[in-house]
Amino acid sequence: MIRIDEASVHYRGRAALHPSSLDVEPGAFTIVVGPNGAGKSTLLKLMAGEIAPDEGSVLLDDRLLSSVPARELARRRAVLPQSSALAFPFTVAEVVRLGLDAGGRTSRVQDIVDALDRVDLAGFSGRYYQELSGGEQQRVHLARVLCQIGPPVVHGTPRYLFLDEPISSLDIRHQLAVLSIGRDFARAGGGVVAVLHDLNLAAGFADRLVVLAHGAIVADGSPAAILTDRLIESVFDLKLRVGALPPPGIPFVLPQTAA
């Protein structure tokens, strides 16, 4: 388990994340939502060990995350950032192979083929990354992190995926496919944290929803338990209506239209 205990982050004297506590448990798909600038990416980077807290602590299985060697950390968790710039003319296969190298896994052509097939890019191995669309590039990087992390559980030890806006450039079919990959990883015993903006997709896929506003966690629980008209209005300064689908009662969010 990854545990954040009263951790805070400041940038140039400004609090990007106020003291916060949160457990990332294996076997759950946690989705973080909130307005732009709320601290979502900061929280994700903190959980993944990409930044250190100014106060408080972050633990991986009761060890300070900052004390975990880089190679071990790369095997235990993989991070998909919001954007990844590549200046060199890599092929798709070469980009995905970077994940195998980062995770210390033996480079096998079949692993690359399988990862690309999972993200609906079968046959793209020899194409140049720079020639792909934004959505295709985003899926290449997802294949890369899947190659890095490998199975959700290895020798009884869970692994973790951190996905920062993984569907921002994707059409609806690929949005659902990518979120299904995250859900399946969690159901197989791994831990998954994703940052999303689409509240309806978040409600449909999350086991646990974490809502941020102004650098603070303002709600944490199942979508059905915490998504309310009042919460949405207070966080987004917008009047929306929260309804519920038939059992199992997954909530949905719609704009309030004028009569």
Q: Indicate the domain borders of the chain.
A: 2-82+157-255
Note the pLDDT of residue 88.
86
215, two tokens: 């650098």
pLDDT in tens, 46-93: 999 999 999 999 999 999 999 999 999 999 999 999 988 887 899 999
For residue 257, the model assigns a pLDDT of 65
The predicted structure's pLDDT at residue 102: 86
Residue type, 118: R
Instruction: Report the topology of domain 2-82+157-255.
Output: Rossmann fold (3.40.50)
Alpha-carbon Rg for the chain, nearest whole angstrom, is: 19
- In the prediction, which pLDDT does 67 show? 95
Question: What pLDDT is recorded for position 246?
Answer: 82
Please list the alpha-helical segments (H only) found in 55-208.
70-76, 92-102, 109-118, 134-149, 172-187, 199-205
Give pTM, 2 decimals. 0.94
Residue 168, phi then psi, degrees to nearest 5: -65, -25
Q: Which residues in 111-132 are b (16+ Cβ under 10 Å) and which e?
A: bbbebbebbebeebbeeebeeb
Residue spans of the chain under pLDDT 50: 258-259
Q: What is the pLDDT of residue 259?
A: 45
Could you tell me if 140 and 121 are in contact, meaning their C-beta atoms sit under 8 angstroms apart? yes
